[in-house]
C-alpha cells in the first residue's frame, strides 16, 4: 500500500511539473482551446466511473457509477469535439482574401 | 495466461499518458493544435480500452447506456452551442467533470466502509469536498455567464467570515472522516457543506473576474480527479488530473497577473462591488464624434489597432468588426487586434470570438507584442473595453487598478472609443482615456456602431483606384 501511494505521488509530482512546463508555452491566443482540451482530458474520471459502474458492487455503486459515466462522457465527447471546432476557426491571414498581411 | 493482458493494459495506459502530454504540447502553436486534439482523443481511447480490459468489470450494460447518453449530450452541446456561448459551456463542463469525480469518490468511501486506510480516507474526503464545491461553483458561474444569476458580485457584511466558517466546517468533517473512516454518517453533511461553499464562493465574484474563477474551477476539477486516482490506485487518473490541475492553476495565475491582483484579492476582494463607484462624477467635456468623421480618419490611416473587450462580445459585434478590418485591409491599411489577457469572460475569449468571425490569427496580438506599436498607430478603436485601457493604471497610485498592465492606447495618434454611454467600467472607476485630447467618443451599440463604420468606410473613394 505504501509503495502504491509513493508511486502515485511520484506520478503526481512529475505530471505537475510537465504540466507547468508544457502549458507555459501555450500562447494566450489558444487559452480557451487549452481550457476546453484540459476539460476533455479531465473526462478521464470516466475511467474511475467505468470501474465503479461495471464491477457489480451493488445497486448504489451502479447508480452512482452510471451517473458518473454519463457526466464524464459528456466532457470527453463534447470537450474534444468543441476544441476541434474552435481550432478549425483559427486561420492564418491569406493574401488572396485580405490583401494586406505584412 | 493473463500476463499478456496485464502488459497490454500497462502499454495502453502508458500510451494514454504520452497522448495527453503530447496533446498539450502541440497546443503551443495554432498550426499543430488540431494534431493535439487527435493525440488527446487517442490517449483517451487507449485509457478507456485499458480500463475495459481490466478483469473487474463484469457488467457492461449500464456503462454502455450511460456512455451513450452522455456522448449524445456532449456531441449535441458541441455541435449546436454557438461559439458566443463558449464561457458558459466551459463553466458547465467543469461541473460535469467534478460531479463524476465526486460521485465516484462518495461511492468508493461508502463501499470501503471500515476497511479504508487513513491515507485513502483522507484523500477521498478532500476529493469529495473539492468535487462538490466545484459542482455548485461551476453551476453558479454558468448561471452568471448565461444571465440567470446576477452578473455583479453579491457581497454583504461578514461574508468572508461566513465563507471561511463554512469551509472550516468542511475541513473539520474531512479530518473527522480521515480519523474514523467508519463514521459514514458524516458524508451527507460533508456533501451539503461542499455544495454550499461552492455557491458562496462564486456568488461573490463579479463578471469581469470570471476568467480567474473559471480557471480556478478548472484546476479544482482536475485535482479532484487526481485525488480519485490516488484513492482507487489508478495512475492515469493521477496523471491526467495533475495536468488538468496545473493547467487551470497556471491560467488563473496568468489572469491575476494581468490584473495585478493576488488570488486572495480576487476570491475575497469582491472587486466588482467595491465602493469606488464614482457615481455621477463631475461632468467633464468629452469629444463626441460620428461614424462619418471616424471614416475620414481611417481613410488616411497607415496602422489601425482594434482593442476589443467584453462589450464587443455582449453586442455580438465581432462580425461587423471583422468586416470593417477586412475593408481597411483591402485599402492597404495595416490592421491589428490588441487583446488584453483578461478581456472577456474567460482566458482567450476574444481570440476565439474573432477567429470564429474569420479574423486571421496573425492579426490577434498579445499585450506585450502590441504595446510597442501604439506610438506609430494612427487610429486605435476601443470597442467594448474599458479598464484595460485606463492610463490611470500606470500613474495614479490611488486608483484601484494601479499597477495593472494595460494596453497603451493613449499613445496612439487618435483614439476612437465605441461605448453605449459614459457609464464606468467593471471596476467602477473613471477612465482618464475618455478625456484625453486625442480621444473621440462614438456613442451607441457596438454592433450598430461597427456597422455604421463599415458603411461609411465603404463609401470612401478607393485609394487603389485613385493611385491607378
Cβ contact B108–A35 (<8 Å):
no
Letter string b/e over residues B117-148, b meaning 16 or more CB atoms within 10 A of that residue's CB: eebbbbbbbbbbbbbbbbbbbbbbbbbbbeee
Let me know if B299 is exposed, middle or buried by CB neighbors in 10 A (0-12, 13-18, 19+). middle
Q: What's the predicted TM-score (pTM) here?
A: 0.89
- Does the residue B79 lie in any domain? no
Cβ contact B70–A70 (<8 Å):
yes
- In the prediction, which pLDDT does B156 show? 76
A95 pLDDT more than 60: no
- In the prediction, which pLDDT does B271 show? 52
A65 contact residues in B (CB cutoff 8 A): 62-63, 103-104, 107
- Does the residue B5 lie in any domain? yes
Nearest CB partner across the interface for A28, out of B56, B60, B348: B348
- In the prediction, which pLDDT does B253 show? 93
- pLDDT top residue among B240 and B58: B240
| Average pLDDT of span B122-133 | 94
- In the prediction, which pLDDT does B147 show? 84
Of B192, B402, B217, B236, the closest CA to residue A48 belongs to B236
Domain co-membership, B26 together with B113: no
Cβ contact A11–B235 (<8 Å):
yes
User: pLDDT confidence of B280, banded at 50, 70, 90?
Assistant: very low
The reply to whether B463 touches chain A by the CB within 8 Å rule is: no
Give the domain extent around B16: 1-55
- Does the residue A1 lie in any domain? no
Q: At what angle do helices B3-26 and A31-42 cross, to 10 degrees?
A: 160
What is the CATH number for B422?
A: 3.40.50.1220
B447 pLDDT more than 60: yes
- Does the residue A12 lie in any domain? no
Cβ atoms B308, B337 nearer than 8 A: yes
Q: Which helix (H) or strand (E) holds B173?
A: helix B159-179
The fraction of chain B above a pLDDT of 90, given in percent, is: 63
Domain co-membership, B441 together with B309: yes
- In the prediction, which pLDDT does B464 show? 56
* Other CB atoms within 10 Å distance of the CB of residue B2: 7
- Does the residue B247 lie in any domain? yes
Cβ contact A53–B66 (<8 Å):
yes
- In the prediction, which pLDDT does B15 show? 96
- In the prediction, which pLDDT does B279 show? 43
Domain co-membership, B106 together with B232: yes
Of B209, B321, B194, the closest CA to residue B261 belongs to B209
- Does the residue A79 lie in any domain? yes
Give the domain extent around A46: 28-90
Cβ atoms B100, A46 nearer than 8 A: yes
Domain co-membership, B269 together with B295: no
- Which DSSP category does B271 fall into? G
- Does the residue A22 lie in any domain? no
- Which DSSP category does B462 fall into? P
- Does the residue A34 lie in any domain? yes
Domain co-membership, B260 together with B313: no
Q: Into how many domains does chain A fold?
A: 1
Domain co-membership, B299 together with B448: yes
Gap between the Cα atoms of B192 and B194, Å rounded: 5
- In the prediction, which pLDDT does A102 show? 38
Domain co-membership, B50 together with B109: no
The reply to whether A87 touches chain B by the CB within 8 Å rule is: yes
> Nearest CA to CA, how far is A57 from chain B (Å)?
8
Domain co-membership, B320 together with B371: yes
The reply to whether A96 touches chain B by the CB within 8 Å rule is: no
- In the prediction, which pLDDT does B273 show? 45
- Does the residue A54 lie in any domain? yes
Cβ atoms B270, B263 nearer than 8 A: no
Q: pLDDT tens digits, residue range B319-360?
A: 999 999 999 999 989 999 999 998 888 899 999 999 999 999
Which is catalytic among the residues B151, B387, B408, B410? B387
φ/ψ bin of B188: left (φ > 0), alpha (ψ from -120 to 50), beta (otherwise): alpha
- In the prediction, which pLDDT does B286 show? 86
Domain co-membership, B108 together with B221: yes
Among B30-44, B359-373, B415-429, which stretch is predicted with the lowest mean pLDDT? Answer: B415-429
| Average pLDDT of span A28-47 | 93
Domain co-membership, B188 together with B231: yes
A67 pLDDT more than 60: yes
- In the prediction, which pLDDT does B283 show? 64
- In the prediction, which pLDDT does A20 show? 94
Query: Is B408 among the residues known to form the active site?
Result: no
Domain co-membership, B104 together with B41: no
- In the prediction, which pLDDT does B260 show? 85
- In the prediction, which pLDDT does A72 show? 95
Nearest CB partner across the interface for A78, out of B77, B100, B326: B77
- Does the residue B60 lie in any domain? no
Of B238, B242, B197, B200, the closest CA to residue B219 belongs to B242
Q: pLDDT tens digits, residue range B144-158?
A: 988 888 777 777 777
Of B245, B254, B111, B255, the closest CA to residue B184 belongs to B111
B217 pLDDT more than 80: yes
Nearest CB partner across the interface for B241, out of A42, A54, A78: A42
Of B43, B49, B208, B139, the closest CA to residue A37 belongs to B43
Domain co-membership, B319 together with B398: yes
Determine which of B59, B81, B107, B191 to mutate to test the interface with A (most A C-beta atoms within 10 Å).
B107
Q: Into how many domains does chain B fold?
A: 3
Gap between the Cα atoms of B283 and B274, Å rounded: 22
- Taking the alpha carbons at both ends of chain B, their separation in whole angstroms is 82
- Does the residue B168 lie in any domain? yes
Determine which of B25, B53, B100, B324 to mutate to test the interface with A (most A C-beta atoms within 10 Å).
B100
The reply to whether B355 touches chain A by the CB within 8 Å rule is: yes
- Does the residue A21 lie in any domain? no
B18 pLDDT more than 60: yes
- Does the residue A8 lie in any domain? no
- In the prediction, which pLDDT does A99 show? 41
Amino acid at each position: 500500500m505504501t509503495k502504491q501511494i509513493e508511486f502515485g505521488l511520484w506520478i503526481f509530482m512529475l505530471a505537475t511539473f510537465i504540466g507547468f512546463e508544457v502549458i507555459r508555452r501555450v500562447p494566450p491566443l489558444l487559452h480557451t482551446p487549452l481550457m476546453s482540451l484540459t476539460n476533455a482530458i479531465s473526462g478521464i474520471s470516466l475511467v474511475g466511473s467505468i470501474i465503479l459502474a461495471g464491477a457489480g458492487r451493488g445497486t448504489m455503486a451502479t447508480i452512482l457509477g452510471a451517473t458518473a459515466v454519463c457526466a464524464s462522457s459528456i466532457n470527453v465527447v463534447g470537450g474534444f469535439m468543441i476544441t476541434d471546432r474552435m481550432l478549425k476557426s483559427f486561420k492564418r491571414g491569406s493574401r488572396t482574401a485580405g490583401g494586406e498581411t505584412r | 495466461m493473463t500476463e499478456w493482458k496485464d502488459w497490454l493494459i500497462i502499454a495502453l495506459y502508458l500510451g494514454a499518458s504520452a497522448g495527453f502530454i503530447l496533446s498539450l504540447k502541440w497546443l503551443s502553436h495554432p498550426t499543430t493544435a488540431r494534431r493535439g486534439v487527435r493525440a488527446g482523443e487517442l490517449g483517451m481511447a487507449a485509457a478507456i480500452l485499458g480500463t475495459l480490459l481490466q478483469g473487474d468489470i463484469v457488467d457492461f450494460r449500464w456503462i454502455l447506456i450511460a456512455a451513450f447518453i452522455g456522448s449524445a449530450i456532449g456531441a449535441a452541446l458541441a455541435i449546436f452551442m454557438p461559439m458566443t456561448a463558449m464561457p458558459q459551456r466551459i463553466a458547465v463542463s467543469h461541473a460535469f467533470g467534478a460531479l463524476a469525480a465526486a460521485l465516484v469518490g462518495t461511492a468508493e468511501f461508502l463501499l470501503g466502509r471500515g476497511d479504508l486506510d487513513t491515507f485513502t480516507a483522507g484523500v477521498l474526503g478532500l476529493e469529495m469536498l473539492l468535487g462538490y464545491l466545484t459542482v455548485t461553483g461551476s453551476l453558479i458561474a454558468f448561471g452568471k455567464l448565461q444571465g440567470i444569476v446576477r452578473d455583479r458580485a453579491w457581497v454583504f457584511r461578514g461574508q468572508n467570515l461566513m465563507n471561511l466558517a463554512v469551509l472550516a466546517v468542511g475541513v473539520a468533517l474531512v479530518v473527522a472522516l480521515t480519523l474514523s473512516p467508519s463514521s459514514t454518517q458524516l458524508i451527507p453533511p460533508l456533501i451539503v457543506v461542499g455544495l454550499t461553499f461552492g455557491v458562496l464562493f462564486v456568488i461573490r465574484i463579479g463578471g469581469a473576474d470570471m476568467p480567474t474563477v473559471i480557471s480556478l474551477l478548472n484546476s479544482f476539477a482536475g485535482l479532484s480527479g487526481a485525488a480519485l486516482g490516488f484513492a482507487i490506485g489508478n495512475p492515469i487518473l493521477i496523471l491526467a488530473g495533475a495536468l488538468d490541475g496545473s493547467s487551470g492553476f497556471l491560467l488563473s495565475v496568468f489572469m491575476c497577473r494581468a490584473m495585478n491582483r493576488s488570488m486572495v484579492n480576487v476570491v475575497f476582494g469582491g472587486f466588482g462591488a467595491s465602493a469606488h463607484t464614482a457615481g455621477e462624477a463631475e461632468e467633464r467635456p468629452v469629444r463626441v464624434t460620428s461614424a462619418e468623421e471616424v471614416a475620414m480618419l481611417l481613410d488616411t490611416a497607415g496602422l489601425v489597432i482594434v482593442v476589443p473587450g467584453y462589450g464587443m462580445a455582449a453586442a455580438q459585434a465581432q462580425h461587423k468588426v471583422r468586416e470593417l478590418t477586412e475593408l481597411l485591409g483591402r485599402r492597404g491599411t495595416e490592421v491589428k487586434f490588441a487583446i488584453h489577457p483578461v478581456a472577456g469572460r474567460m482566458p482567450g475569449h476574444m481570440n476565439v470570438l474573432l477567429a470564429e468571425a474569420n479574423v486571421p490569427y496573425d492579426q490577434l496580438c498579445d499585450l506585450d507584442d502590441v504595446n510597442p506599436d501604439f506610438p506609430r498607430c494612427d487610429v486605435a478603436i476601443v470597442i467594448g473595453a474599458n479598464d484595460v485601457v485606463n492610463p490611470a493604471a500606470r500613474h495614479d497610485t490611488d486608483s484601484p487598478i494601479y499597477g495593472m498592465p494595460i494596453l497603451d492606447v493613449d499613445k496612439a495618434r487618435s483614439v476612437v472609443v465605441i461605448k453605449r454611454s459614459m457609464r464606468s467600467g467593471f471596476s467602477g472607476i473613471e477612465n482618464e482615456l475618455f478625456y484625453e485630447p486625442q480621444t473621440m467618443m462614438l456613442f451607441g451599440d457596438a454592433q450598430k456602431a461597427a456597422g455604421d463604420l463599415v458603411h461609411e468606410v465603404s463609401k470612401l473613394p478607393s485609394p487603389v483606384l485613385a493611385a491607378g
